Structure 1
Amino acid sequence: MRKFIIIGGGQSGLQVGIGLLKAGHQVRIVQNRSADEVASGKVLSSQCMFSNAVQHERDIGIDFWSTECPRVEGINFIVPNPDDSGTKLIDWSARLDSNAYSVDQRVKIPRWMAEFSRLAGQMEIADGALPRLKPTPAKTIW
């Protein structure tokens, strides 16, 4: 069993951490906010997850929402003309090949943190300054 320390318990850090736990490794995530702080905080980033990302969540057993959350069936991208004429420099739209899904990360991240802990991962709420993290195994990956 290998031991891993992951700095950051967001979208990527929790997915990697949960995947490593399910593969039989010991994992500690150092995250600067608790689940309650994330849940009551500001929007973290875009909530839209496209089909490949959703499939990855399904593959590691953490897609808790796509059966009930809003489907995103297409995209529209608009760039207004900077001359304030009301015209658009770009107005592009397309349907997606597969649905994307929208889940607010203030809901998603706390649920994944609970799943990480349920799987016996160690969650440490602290700033992730490298000098204070003292790895003991020779093969710790940073």
Structure 2
Amino acid sequence: MSEQSHALQKRKADAAKRQTKIIRQGIVFGFVGVLNTGVDFLTFILLTHFLSVYYLLAQTLSYGAGMLNSYLWNSKVTFSTSKRSKTRFLKFVVLNVSVLAMTLVVMHFLQFLPLYVNKLISTLIGLVFNFILSKLWVFRV
């Protein structure tokens, strides 16, 4: 085998490993997202249905609960970072406050929908942005 073909095979193998890692992270992020969404939705339902909290305030509080849960799981499991840094947590907070703001805007514009459908749509939109920026910015190693 020539040196060039060996180098090409190594690059292909490395690219396959990176792709597999990204797919694994996406799947784990999805599972963690389901858990976070459960925390978020249960808190949201508790606040709006049982405590009659205004829906935008309830969204802020419930998203915050899911956000803390998310940081713990994603830093330990999804992106497996042993480094704990104030900078990483600050980036995480900035990202999630931005995603929260986006979900509040989406919820406002979709207020004609049933409340829980509105919540689901805004959550799904936020999830996509959150994964991409978590991977590329917050938990980038």
TM range, normalised to the smaller chain? under 0.3
Higher percent of residues as strand: 1
TM-score (norm 2): 0.28
Higher-RCO chain (CA-CA 8 Å, sequence separation at least 6): 1
TM-score normalised by L of structure 1: 0.28
